[in-house]
Amino acid sequence: MLCGSWRRSRRSPEEPRVAAQVATPLALPPSPASPDSGTKGPGLRALKKMGLTEDEDVQAMLRGSRLLKIRSRTWHKERLYRLQEDGLSVWFQRRFPHAPSQHIFFVQHIEAVREGHQSEGLRRFGGAYAPARCLTIAFKGRRKNLDLAAPTAEEAQRWVRGLAKLRARLDAMSQRERLDHWIHSYLHRADSDQDSKMSFKEIKSLLRMVNVDMNDMYAYRLFKECDHSNNERLEGAEIEAFLRRLLKRPELEAIFHRYSGEDHVLSASELLEFLQDQGEDSATLACAQQLIQTYELNETAKQHELMTLDGFIMYLLSPEGAALNVAHTCVFQDMGQPLAHYFISSSHNTYLTDSQIGGPSSTEAYVRAFAQGCRCVELDCWEGQGGEPIIYHGHTLTSKILFRDVIQAVRDHAFTVSPYPVILSLENHCGLEQQAVMAHHLRSILGDMLVTQALDSQNPEELPSPEQLKGRVLVKGKRLPAARNEDGRMLSDREDDEEEEEETEEAWEAAEQRRRAKQISPDLSALAVYCCASRLRTLNPRPRPPQPCQVGSLGERKARKFTREAGNSFVRHNTQQLTRVYPMGLRMNSANYNPQEMWNSGCQLVALNFQTPGYEMDLNTGRFLINGQCGYVLKPAYLRQLDTTFDPECPGPPRTTLTVQVLTAQQLPKLNAEKPSSIVDPLVRVEIHGVPADCAHKETDYVLNNGFNPCWKQTLQFQLRVPELVLVRFVVEDYDSTSPNDFVGQFTLPLNSLKQGYRHIHLLSKDGASLSPATLFVHICIENS
């Protein structure tokens, strides 16, 4: 391990432990000077570094546009939208003044920009405007779409093209460039008189903005060390010198100098030694040489195959230096095994954007779920007017959407992120006529995407693989029994209520007889080819003929009961058949349960409310972060073997030790952007989520008033029994002695995808958006016994 006393302190005695804040740069208020006014402040400098200052579309966005914001049939309001000089945020006018941070949105929070009437809102309410004048900005997380109509088609295109260029440039920026861009955007805000010079008062304002509570004497000494003109103002190179001192990473310098020696550069062989100490067992001299060519900034050093400190920091801040194994960010697993051998990203009540009591239903919820890699979505189908089935949460105040509109959203968006199959889980409450309409819409809208017959006619009961089903849509629903009653009664294909789970065997038999009498449309039944819905009430401990095409559905409480009372039987059942678990109906606010408990038993379709952020969705995102985020993750071998002896309740002795040294953090987000004096007191908690015997969490002490570059240098250690199932969640919180800590950021990933050595962890917000350039710097050691 490299975890000794490695850090060489560069602080003077009066220098405090400084705190970090990062997230995205806060938006500027509307700039009084137009981009063509000749002002060349730090904001335009940032855009210049992006190579976009001369771009006509970006220039038009900097000048601003009056666009119609469309929210309903009657709510069409003209608002001014203007790109800020940081190139990362857009300011917009509001009817009533709000806090400055409420008047902006960030480019990095945009999920997609759609042209024309390509949103539910514009299809319903934008008919008065030509599609060429319309655009939709869809955001990550829970923020609503922004539906806009421009005065002309050309102006709409300028925003579509301009946002595309800004997003592409942002995606291409290195972490070092993001940090530089970020600090200069704050510099522009702190320069109160916009004269491109910084007084000490303005420097103090800058420090508070970036989450630093620095001792006045120490801050002034730094200021004077850079004030070479001795005029109590920093400008040009003096500002850059101050920022270099502020952004110093002494812990990285110490690691670099340990390997570089007295000449202060790394040769390829010295870099290889570092890589090998990092646990990069496959590293070669050629790998080290390639890293130098990729990350070294000095051309002379690059020509001599040497790496300077700047190049070393660029590497450690890159995806290759991150905690997540970069090789696992693409599809790397075997995708040719039966569907039952994979964890499959699954959504519950997918149509909802809020609670299941009175929240709105929307096709946009399906689009967002697909954008997050979801591969199994739910459709609650009810009788609608005019012969058209509708989707909503029955017997509640949730709004209604048309079944056919949802199927069109599936056709248009199901395979934009992942090519692997999508499962439509139908909860069917319709009569025969509207069931037939559902079947018609599925066939006519999806066409060849829809699986209507077995791929292998010789073995129709064998589950195909994700690879075989690329680009295809499966229907999960009831299938007709061999004989049925023709009494025309309504079918209810709903999932078990929690109360129903407590039925006696006799009551269940009586209820089952009533269910058998209910009708299923032959047209709809024919579409349940590989996913025939069934209720999983008991587990048979004795071997029985497999039924791979039967998909059992059960509530979270029943799934927990199976795991506790018949763990191995449940695991064996899930080696051959798909099981869908859903939240209990009492979760009125659409809260989630812990999905890890269900994955431990091999359940594939662990359905969560994607619209509800929290640690449960963080775990789901972490589970499916790997394998190209395609929504399918191969289960460990002991969850795929029919004769497995694995029981999550009895996992055996510890066999892996995880040691995490929490070293430092950088540029943590400011939680109260409107209160300059508010600075976080960060602590780090490392959580282990796995089988019950592995679940644990440990945390560091908090660092007072330092969100910019807090230092902990504390070691947390965990003993693990089933490492293949473990998810590691890194959480940063703002300590509060009188109330619960506030969430700052987190990152979750599988232990098997966690790289060893010195690593940066790139933090995410509660909604899963990037908080770049916010990072944790840690050392990871994984030892197997």
d(CA 366, CA 379): 10
Count CB atoms within 10 A of the CB of residue 280. Answer: 17
d(CA 69, CA 77): 5
Across the strands, what pairs with 689?
727
d(CA 250, CA 7): 7
Nearest to 427 by CA among 392, 400, 402, 399: 392
The answer to whether the CB of 752 falls within 8 A of the CB of 745 is no
The answer to whether the CB of 745 falls within 8 A of the CB of 682 is no
CA distances from 412 to 230, 406, 450 (A): 63, 10, 13
d(CA 710, CA 667): 9
d(CA 349, CA 585): 11
DSSP-derived pairing of the beta strands 65-70 and 146-149:
antiparallel
Nearest to 549 by CA among 516, 525, 585, 521: 525
Q: Is 98 a catalytic residue?
A: no
Question: What value does the CA radius of gyration of the chain take, rounded to a whole number of Å?
Answer: 28
- Whether omega before 464 lies within 30 degrees of 0, making that bond cis, reads no
Q: State the catalytic residue, choosing from 109, 348, 573, 779.
A: 348
Nearest to 253 by CA among 5, 4, 9: 9
Q: Which two tokens stand for residue 29?
A: 């208020």
Count CB atoms within 10 A of the CB of residue 487. Answer: 8
d(CA 579, CA 568): 15
CA distances from 591 to 480, 586, 607, 616 (A): 34, 9, 12, 9
CA distances from 478 to 486, 521, 528 (A): 16, 9, 7
Q: State the catalytic residue, choosing from 393, 441, 762, 779.
A: 393
| Residue listed under structure tokens 């000095």 | 298
Q: Is 441 a catalytic residue?
A: no
- DSSP class of residue 713 equals E
All residues at 6 or more sequence positions from 326 whose CB lies less than 8 Å from its CB, including other chains: 319, 320
All residues at 6 or more sequence positions from 575 whose CB lies less than 8 Å from its CB, including other chains: 340, 341, 602, 639, 640, 641, 642, 644
The answer to whether the CB of 289 falls within 8 A of the CB of 306 is no
The set of catalytic residues is 348, 393
